[in-house]
Structure formats: C-alpha cells, structure tokens
Amino acid sequence: MAASGLIIRRNERHEISLPAQVRVSFSHTELVKLSKGTAGEKGWVNVHLIDFSENGIGIVTEVFFPRGSVLEVRVPDLGDPEGAGELLRCEMRVMRVQMTDRRPAYLIGGAFVDPGNETRGQIEALLDRLDGVVGEEG
C-alpha cells in the first residue's frame, strides 16, 4: 500500500512569532560548518520562531542547516528588563527543511533532543503562556 504523504502531528502546534537564535550543537560542529560571516558571536544565527509544540519547533532562517543536524536553540525573554532571561534553551534535531516561496529563506521543523527536567519545565511554561493567550482571545 502506498503512503499518502500526509503529515500526522501528535501534538497541537501553536503559531507564534518570536525572535530566537540557533547555532550548531557542539556534538555536530565537525559535521556542519557555516561559511564565514554567516553566524554572529559564538556561532549564533538569528532566526524567527514560527511554531511551537510539546515535541518541537519551527523556525525560519536565511541559513541552511541540513536535515539530521542538531542545533542549540535559545529564545530570549523579551519581557526581561535586563535582557538576560530566556524563555527556552534547548537542542533540536532538524527533521524538515523547505525553502520558502516569498524570500530566500528556509522553513525548518525540528524535534527536541532529550529535554531534561529544566528544558521540559521551560517547554511546559511556554505552552501554558501560549494556551493562556489563546484562551483570552477565543
């Protein structure tokens, strides 16, 4: 029997729009090398977080990251007056890469890699905040 090609999601995805940063995880620095000038300080690349679920995230970036690579992700807490707080700090494995049609960028879907207790707490806290926003609007 042929596969239908449909993507079945196990968890609800929240569409969001937040600035974030990614860099190649230490475990993959020998496998993925970015060209000079692509990344900023300490290898961070500015991206845009566009969806969020219990098991992963979606980002848009102008930098290509290959499928299977592991990225370190950080999402700053824009409400932190000192600018040092983070809503999320985790690793994700790139599961899907697709070029966008409107601008030269890539839509990347990733799955969280072995989130520990602290990361799981950050994920749950962000999901609670997103559920609260949805509840107020609907």
- pTM exceeds cut of 0.85: no
Q: What is the CATH number of the domain that holds 89?
A: 2.40.10.220
- pLDDT value, residue 13: 78
Phi, psi (rounded to 5 degrees) for 121? -65, -40
**Is residue 4 assigned to a domain?**
no
Q: How many domains does the chain have?
A: 1
The per-residue pLDDT for range 26-38, each reduced to its tens digit, is 888 777 877 777 8
User: Quick one: tokens of 36?
Assistant: 């000079």
**CA-atom Rg of the chain in angstroms:** 16
What mean pLDDT, rounded, does the chain reach? 83
Do residues 88 and 55 lie in contact, with contact meaning Cβ atoms separated by under 8 Å? no
How far CA 23 is from CA of 40, 56, 64, 95, 120, in Å, comes to: 9, 16, 11, 16, 20
Domain, as residue range, for 96: 14-137
* Model pLDDT for residues 75-99, shown as the tens digit of each residue: 988 777 676 788 899 999 999 999 9
